[in-house]
Amino acid sequence: MNKDFHNAVLVLPDQLLSGALCVRDGVISDIIESAHFASSSAPIAGLDCEGDYLLPGLIELHTDNMERHVIPRPKTFWPNVTAAAVAHDAEMAASGVTTVFDSTRVGAIPHEDKPQNRLFMELQQAIHDAHNAGVFRIDHRLHFRCELTDPNIMDVLEPAADAPLLSLVSLMDHTPGQRQWRDLDELRRHNSRSERADSEIEHMIQERIALGQKHVSINREMVLERFKNHHPLVLASHDDTTEQHVLDGVRDGVQISEFPCSLEAAKTAKQHGLFTIAGAPNVVRRGSHSGNVSALDLVHADVLDGLSSDYVPASLLQAVFVLAELEGWSLPKAAALVTCNNAAMVNMDDRGRIANGLRGDLIRVTVINNTPIVREVYVGGQRVA
């Protein structure tokens, strides 16, 4: 697929450049500075970007967004999961994402309103079916979030463990009193939004604590054993809170610390060569929705490598411009958190930057009232949104 762009502000890895860009056979073939056109009176071919920014397509490593399309309301399960997958794909494309790692949870948590294990099987099958049929607009990969508190996790995981699109596995422990929910009062407040009585919430918390104490260590070993030779799959830890959490990950071959809950954990991760990811909604909202460390604190400590949209797809691009506005970052530096840095974490060296020889995954962005607006999205030079 061939496509030419001109009159654009190109967001390159180390600078902004006014100029033009050519894509040939789906790959960036030429980057031309505007000054080179000054001596020519011939009309310039291709799309006039009208001075808009042209960025690399965004790379999303951890999003629960597809589940929102399958369960649009509490206790409401959408009957056509393939339709939900395609709707999710369209929303990600409209948000400027050109590569998405669909994060599907393996394992259930007691007293949830979701049929989680059924949901896992149907979600990953729908993603494979839509991918194989060529109906997705953007590039999809699978990210399995393994809930280590579930005593039956291996029964659910094993039938899908060799899924062709599987590229990332994260180790999760949602035991109350640990990691994200180390503050039990915060967990109680979180659950008080449901229709459960206080006594039921307390029973649920104690049951989850007992399950975590019994199963997390054993399940962690089994999951690690199952994937130890699954190259080039990448391992991530989830919600690291203490130094020991990070050291456990280093011991187990983890490469990414997702959503560290404390500055201590993020600093330890960086000291031991792990990548760190925080939530883009955390940046946009200027704080964590669950009372954990602010992503801006990680920015100030220089221990943040990437961002994930998590539960708000549009937050990825918004976070880039928030960092430029609040922190005075250049657009190339801020954009790296959602493009080339994320690509490096999962060994994708063919995308994430505007550079000759890389995929023509591009987004055209204008800014209105300090808000970035995605105008066009291209995958391999072909417009998809």
pLDDT, residue 185, reads: 60
pLDDT, residue 181, reads: 63
pLDDT in tens, 352-383: 999 999 999 999 999 999 899 999 999 999 99
| Residues 47, 135 share a domain | no
Distance CA 268, CA 198 (A): 37
Inform me whether the pLDDT recorded for 45 exceeds 80.
Answer: no
Q: Are 204 and 111 in contact (CB under 8 A)?
A: yes
Distance CA 260, CA 285 (A): 17
- Averaged pLDDT for residues 42-52: 81
| Residues 343, 364 share a domain | no
Domain that holds residue 362: 1-57+352-385
| Residues 383, 326 share a domain | no
- Contacts of residue 217, Cβ cutoff 8 Å, sequence gap at least 6: none
Closest Cα partner for 371 from 76, 18, 53?
53
What one-letter code names the amino acid at 118? R
pLDDT in tens, 182-232: 665 665 565 555 666 666 666 666 677 777 677 888 999 999 999 988 888
Mean pLDDT is lowest, of 186-190, 328-332, 337-341, 365-369, for 186-190
pLDDT in tens, 280-295: 999 999 877 666 899 9
DSSP code string of 141-201? EEEEEEETT-TTHHHHHGGGTT-TTEEEEEEE---TTSGGG--HHHHHHHHTTSS--HHHH
Mean pLDDT is lowest, of 149-163, 176-190, 245-259, for 176-190
pLDDT in tens, 247-283: 999 999 999 999 999 999 999 999 999 999 999 999 9
| Residues 162, 302 share a domain | yes
pLDDT, residue 289, reads: 65
| Residues 346, 385 share a domain | no
pLDDT, residue 363, reads: 98
Mean of per-residue pLDDT scores for the chain: 89
pLDDT, residue 217, reads: 87
Instruction: Give me the CATH number covering residue 30.
Output: 2.30.40.10
Total tally of structural domains belonging to the chain: 2
73: pLDDT confidence band, cut at 50, 70 and 90? confident
| Residues 261, 375 share a domain | no
Mean pLDDT is lowest, of 10-24, 87-101, 187-201, for 187-201
- In the three-class reduction of DSSP (H, G, I as helix; E, B as strand; rest coil), residue 36 is classed as helix
pLDDT, residue 213, reads: 72
Q: How much of the chain, in percent, has pLDDT values that exceed 70?
A: 86
pLDDT, residue 292, reads: 80
| Residues 382, 320 share a domain | no
Distance CA 371, CA 385 (A): 19
pLDDT, residue 209, reads: 72
Rounded alpha-carbon distances, angstroms, from residue 65 to 162, 244, 329: 23, 31, 28
| Residues 323, 367 share a domain | no
Mean pLDDT is lowest, of 20-29, 74-83, 232-241, 326-335, for 74-83
